[in-house]
Amino acid sequence: MIYESHDIAASTVSRPRLLPWPNLDGNPCYLVTDTTGTGHLSRIADNVEAVQLDMADDLLDHAADLLGDSKATAPQLHFLAARLTESLRDVHRIARSRGARLSVPDDDEVLAEDTGT
């Protein structure tokens, strides 16, 4: 686990953030920060996510082109499938990380919004 805040006990700690890369053992890697999540490692994680999403977009374009080519070979398609699998794993990790960081209103807050009180 990575700790970004120098004084976690003195700050309000948010839920751990799932980082867009695994740890050395291939397991999920988490970052614990204060509630602002604006530290150096958070910015690095944001940049890595942006690169991964851009690469996924480029890969989708390449996949569409290759799948539209009737002369594509089995090794080319196998390579494409492997890269798509890697990309999907990255995008899935990003979605899980961002979903976990969404604020979920308390039942009382939802009830107040629904009733207008």
At 4, which amino acid appears? E
Paired with 3 in beta bridges are 32
Examine the pLDDT at 68 and tell me if it is beyond 90. Answer: yes
Percent of the chain at pLDDT > 70 equals: 74
What are residue 111's phi and psi, to 5 degrees? -60, -40
Query: Which of helix, strand or coil describes residue 104?
Result: coil
Examine the pLDDT at 47 and tell me if it is beyond 80. Answer: yes
Whether the full predicted model's pTM is greater than 0.95, yes or no, is no
List pLDDT tens digits, range 69-113: 999 999 999 999 999 999 999 999 999 999 888 877 766 665 556
> What's the pLDDT score for residue 64?
97
Q: For the chain, give the mean pLDDT.
A: 84
Domain ranges of the chain: 2-103
CA angle 89, 36, 91 (to 5 degrees): 10
Which residue is listed with tokens 């890969």? 59
> What's the pLDDT score for residue 103?
74
Average pLDDT, integer, range 30-41: 80
With bands split at pLDDT 50, 70 and 90, how would you rate the model's confidence at 15?
confident
User: Distance between terminal CA atoms of the chain?
Assistant: 42
- What Å distances lie between residue 26 and 21, 50, 91, CA to CA? 9, 21, 16
